[in-house]
């Protein structure tokens, strides 16, 4: 970092260098917790046994599953150039497994190196990317600054800046400006994020839309879906997807109220973090419940099915006629509703949806309803949709059509990237 680098970033770099030796202890603890892959720990230090492919290499980084899934169509588009390879990095075990399964030929996955000077230098010196594309807003100061110093062309793609993140960066304006100015261009999801990026110091900002709107629906495990459907039979199903702490305490009373009218109702609760399975089981109290991680299926007496697994939401969307989206009854900002809508599932959400504000507004406008404030409104809306199945299905079709109209980000993003690289899109 040069003399103009803000003091907080200089301090961060020095601290990262000093603390680097302790990282092994932290990573070993994460291995024991199932949060790291023991066989691939060397990647966290910028080391790999893989040989760099010849030719142009484009590097994309997404923090976790959602970001990585959103760029899969972009990876395939970029690989239309036969002389090109793509490197995808991420930070979670789940995303690594998913990328190993779904990345096309000439695309490689690696774990993101630790943001220490040594690990970053080894990573960049080995892979020598022509461009680095950072998805959403997962920004690592040493990685970005070092890539810029090595003349890697940098772009922030599918950029999103929440109110919380914006407020945090506003407290360190010089650091924000220095870091964001490392990017040659910034492709934002929406106008509000674009304006926040501009105010924080990003260059060449434009709005390209949300890549997740262009991503295809995830593949469905038809056998698992059929097995679950056989166990449920014709019972009405209320799905609460990706719930956060504090929301199950609203969903479960809504279930109780709905059961007075729909006596065989089954509520499926999918916690955002599967480790909350035991907590939700405790909240169920006397309600008969079953847990998916214990290889249980719901039977005729099961009132609540706790789906505390990873990567199975498409199965539950295939079973339920509509979905309540978690993270919206508490001030988290709402989980991504695009997957549900693409599968023609109507969307219900609470008041806190600022993480995907434009998407929710578009879906709710198409549905004509879907926003709820609490238990009573959930019960009223779900009762109507259960009572008139055609109405619920029509709302799902409207949601799917709304999402289709939000598409177009993929083409705009690729055009901008090819221009950044000095190419015309093929």
CA quadruple 378, 379, 381, 384: dihedral, nearest 10: 160
| Cα(160)–Cα(149) distance, integer angstroms | 25
Assign 26 to helix, strand or coil.
helix
| Cα(341)–Cα(323) distance, integer angstroms | 9
* Catalytic choice (67, 247, 312, 339): 67
Q: Are 378 and 250 in contact (CB under 8 A)?
A: yes
| Cα(285)–Cα(263) distance, integer angstroms | 18
Structure tokens at 306: 């706790």
Angle at the Cα of 163 (from 159 to 169), degrees rounded to 5? Answer: 75
Angle at the Cα of 47 (from 42 to 49), degrees rounded to 5? Answer: 95
Structure tokens at 111: 């774990």
Burial group, residue 417, by CB count within 10 angstroms (0-12, 13-18, 19+): buried
Structure tokens at 28: 């070993």
Q: Are 134 and 141 in contact (CB under 8 A)?
A: no
| Cα(260)–Cα(222) distance, integer angstroms | 32
Q: Are 236 and 262 in contact (CB under 8 A)?
A: yes
Structure tokens at 301: 């007496």
Backbone angles phi, psi at 86, to 5 degrees: -125, 135
Residues 6+ apart with CB under 8 A from 44: 23, 27, 36, 111, 112, 113, 114, 119
| Cα(243)–Cα(348) distance, integer angstroms | 13
Active site residue 249: no
- 390-407 as b/e, with b when 16 or more CB fall inside 10 Å? eebbbbbebbbebbeebe
Partners of 254 in the beta sheet? none
Q: Are 358 and 324 in contact (CB under 8 A)?
A: no
- Strand bridging mode 322-325 / 107-111: unpaired
Kindly list the catalytic residues.
67
């Amino acid at each position: 970092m040069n003399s103009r680098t803000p003091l907080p970033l200089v301090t961060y770099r020095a601290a990262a260098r000093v603390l680097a030796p302790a990282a092994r202890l932290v990573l070993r603890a994460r291995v024991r917790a199932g949060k790291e892959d023991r066989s691939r720990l060397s990647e966290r230090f910028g080391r790999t046994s893989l040989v760099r492919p010849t030719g142009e290499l484009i590097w994309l980084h997404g923090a976790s599953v959602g970001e990585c899934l959103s760029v899969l169509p972009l990876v395939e588009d970029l690989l239309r150039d036969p002389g090109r390879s793509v490197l995808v990095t991420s930070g979670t075990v789940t995303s690594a497994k998913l990328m190993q399964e779904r990345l096309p030929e000439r695309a490689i996955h690696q774990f993101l190196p630790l943001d220490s000077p040594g690990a970053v230098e080894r990573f960049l010196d080995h892979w020598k990317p022509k461009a680095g594309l950072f998805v959403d807003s997962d920004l690592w100061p040493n990685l970005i600054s070092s890539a810029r110093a090595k003349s890697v062309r940098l772009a922030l793609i599918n950029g999103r800046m929440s109110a919380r993140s914006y407020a945090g960066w506003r407290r360190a304006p010089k650091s924000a400006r220095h870091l964001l100015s490392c990017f040659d261009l910034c492709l934002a999801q929406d106008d509000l994020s674009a304006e926040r990026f501009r105010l924080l110091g990003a260059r060449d900002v434009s709005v390209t839309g949300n890549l997740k709107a262009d991503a295809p629906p995830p593949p469905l495990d038809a056998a698992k879906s059929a097995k679950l459907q056989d166990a449920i039979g014709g019972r009405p199903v209320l799905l609460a997807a990706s719930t956060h702490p504090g929301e199950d305490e609203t969903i479960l009373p809504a279930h109780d109220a709905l059961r007075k009218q729909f006596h065989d109702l089954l509520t499926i609760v999918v916690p955002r973090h599967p480790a909350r399975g035991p907590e939700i089981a405790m909240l169920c109290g006397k309600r008969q419940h079953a847990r998916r991680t214990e290889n249980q299926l719901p039977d005729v007496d099961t009132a609540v099915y706790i789906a505390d697994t990873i990567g199975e939401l498409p199965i539950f969307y295939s079973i339920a006629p509509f979905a309540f989206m978690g993270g919206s009854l508490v001030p988290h900002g709402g989980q991504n509703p695009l997957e549900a809508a693409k599968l023609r599932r109507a969307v219900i959400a609470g008041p806190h949806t600022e993480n995907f504000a434009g998407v929710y507004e578009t879906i709710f406008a198409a549905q004509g309803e879907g926003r709820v404030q609490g238990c009573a409104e959930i019960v009223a809306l779900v009762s109507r949709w259960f009572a008139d199945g055609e109405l619920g299905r029509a709302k799902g079709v409207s949601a799917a059509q709304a999402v289709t109209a939000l598409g177009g980000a993929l083409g705009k993003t690729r055009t901008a990237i090819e221009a950044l690289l000095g190419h015309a899109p093929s």
